[in-house]
Structure 1
């Protein structure tokens, strides 16, 4: 694909994300997207085979890099402290979602709709997400040695990671800031880590009583 074609394709995706987020998938037309992206409507059919293909491209543009973050940290637990890996990926996910807050809001909202495309995403990308979270969480707290089951910790963590972007207006009301602000990421990340350490503190006090505290790494 030429550079000009790549720019046109990316502008279409960005226009679609903005319009799908504000007007909804059904409320957005191909003409709306073409006008916002300043391209010919035929380009959308050429690159994406229509609006459904464009929707899939938007979802893929989120899930591929999102799952890559989880996969990379999952591999590192073989030679690095799992707790550092787990903390680091939580922060990376928050940063990624903040940098793509419109796309994040649209994706998490879209997969709650019972449609064929959402079911396909659930059966593929979300199964991978669940696997990576389970491996990371289990490496940190163990399957049977925490105050909560691993599955429940994953459910609660997933809610914490998605809620600010699905309900950004509520975060603004409670904390007076928007999830796209860097200060929010730092404050919210610290709150999640405090919660996570509270959940596993009983188990850690038994299994790691002679082990020094883990230093939280705050680099992306």
Structure 2
């Protein structure tokens, strides 16, 4: 495939020279502002040859878009979204689409030019995959919203346009402009990668649910989020515990407290939420958790009317069973076990816990 952003005109045959010239002019001047005579002059041929190969300006426009969309589709086919964590998927989506814009900028320049002009030819000649990709990503975002991964107030279609809008500020800019925007030197690729990181961070912290409820009353007492995890499982659950610690630290007026016995639930009325974090391979429970549950059976008042978040590290059917078993036990004892939908990430589940316990 010819990279139409960097072509030596002298090495192209006549038809390719015409296509390349037309692409550059449509991208810089728009379809309506470009004349066949301009294209012929840029390609170094007479107008008769342009009409010979493409008959009309509209047919030439269609051929230009067809060639650009072939490149666009080849990029799209390289990406697989199977078994990818939502946060990583969002990163990959931004990285891939920004790379496409930077590699074939004329496709997007032509699209934006015609959008401003109010024309309809681009949509008429666009790849069917162009619309399908938009529908698939809209549905993906909608599923994330239903699973609590995205802010429930977000409009998934507007979110997509906002992501593209961020990319549209940068894909066409040259090195000097990128240096001015970022405020320091570097290669074009380095600065584009820095911008990608900024876009990813903004999307994840502005689109993915963040747990930073505001403390409405100044000077309110600090609230406790109590965490039960067996010492024997600390190493296996290291990543989950690090995320929990980081997340709770972002909740204004909250602190995380590691507890080892049910009696510590009596630490004070300010306690709003208890988190049980565990793992299992064949359905087994840690001895500490078994002891803890037995104590609650004996004194159910310790958990009555409390919100309890339960996170069983998943990976097999046994873990699913343990998760449900723990939720049922807490509810039977009079507590409020925060249900965990299958598609919910730990990040999204913590948001659900905070929302339900009004932290």
- Cα RMSD, aligned residues only: 3.8
Q: Which residue of 2 aligns with 1:193?
A: 200
Give runs of aligned pairs for residues 41-120 of structure 1, distance below 5 A. 41-70=47-76, 72-73=78-79, 76-120=80-124
Q: Is the 8 A contact 1:134 1:151 kept in 2?
A: yes
- Relative to structure 1, the CA distance from residue 111 to residue 195 in structure 2 (aligned partners, 3 Å threshold; closer, same or farther) is same
Q: Is the 8 A contact 2:36 2:47 kept in 1?
A: yes
Deviation at 1:97, TM superposition (A): 1.6
The unaligned stretches of length 5 or more in structure 1 are 1-5, 212-220
Q: Which residue of 1 aligns with 2:134?
A: 130
Query: Is structure 2 residue 157 aligned with structure 1 residue 157?
Result: no
Query: Is structure 2 residue 206 aligned with structure 1 residue 202?
Result: no
Deviation at 1:201, TM superposition (A): 3.8
Q: Is the 8 A contact 1:104 1:165 kept in 2?
A: no
Q: Which residue of 1 aligns with 2:16?
A: 10
Q: Distance in 2 between matches of 1:50 and 1:110?
A: 18
Q: Of residues 21, 24, 42 in structure 2, which corresponds to 1:36?
A: 42
Q: Secondary structure at the match of 2:118?
A: coil
- Relative to structure 1, the CA distance from residue 37 to residue 202 in structure 2 (aligned partners, 3 Å threshold; closer, same or farther) is same
Q: Is the 8 A contact 1:63 1:125 kept in 2?
A: no
Q: Is the 8 A contact 2:94 2:163 kept in 1?
A: no
Q: Is the 8 A contact 1:112 1:118 kept in 2?
A: no
Q: Is the 8 A contact 2:114 2:120 kept in 1?
A: no
Which range moves more in the overlay, 47-56 or 95-104?
A: 95-104
- Relative to structure 1, the CA distance from residue 135 to residue 61 in structure 2 (aligned partners, 3 Å threshold; closer, same or farther) is farther
- Relative to structure 1, the CA distance from residue 210 to residue 194 in structure 2 (aligned partners, 3 Å threshold; closer, same or farther) is closer
Q: Is the 8 A contact 2:111 2:122 kept in 1?
A: no
- Relative to structure 1, the CA distance from residue 47 to residue 31 in structure 2 (aligned partners, 3 Å threshold; closer, same or farther) is same
Q: Is the radius of gyration larger for structure 1 or structure 2?
A: 2
Q: Distance in 2 between matches of 1:196 and 1:56?
A: 34
- Relative to structure 1, the CA distance from residue 85 to residue 62 in structure 2 (aligned partners, 3 Å threshold; closer, same or farther) is farther
Q: Distance in 1 between matches of 2:76 and 2:139?
A: 10
- Structure with greater proportional strand content: 2
Q: Secondary structure at the match of 2:210?
A: helix
Q: Distance in 2 between matches of 1:210 and 1:200?
A: 9
CA deviation string 1:141-178 (max 9, x = no partner): 3445221232232121121122334788986764469x
CA deviation string 1:7-31 (max 9, x = no partner): 3322212211222233333332222
Q: Distance in 2 between matches of 1:51 and 1:7?
A: 19
Q: Is the 8 A contact 1:137 1:150 kept in 2?
A: yes
Deviation at 1:186, TM superposition (A): 0.4
The unaligned stretches of length 5 or more in structure 2 are 1-11, 212-242, 248-339, 349-359
TM-score (norm. length: structure 1): 0.70
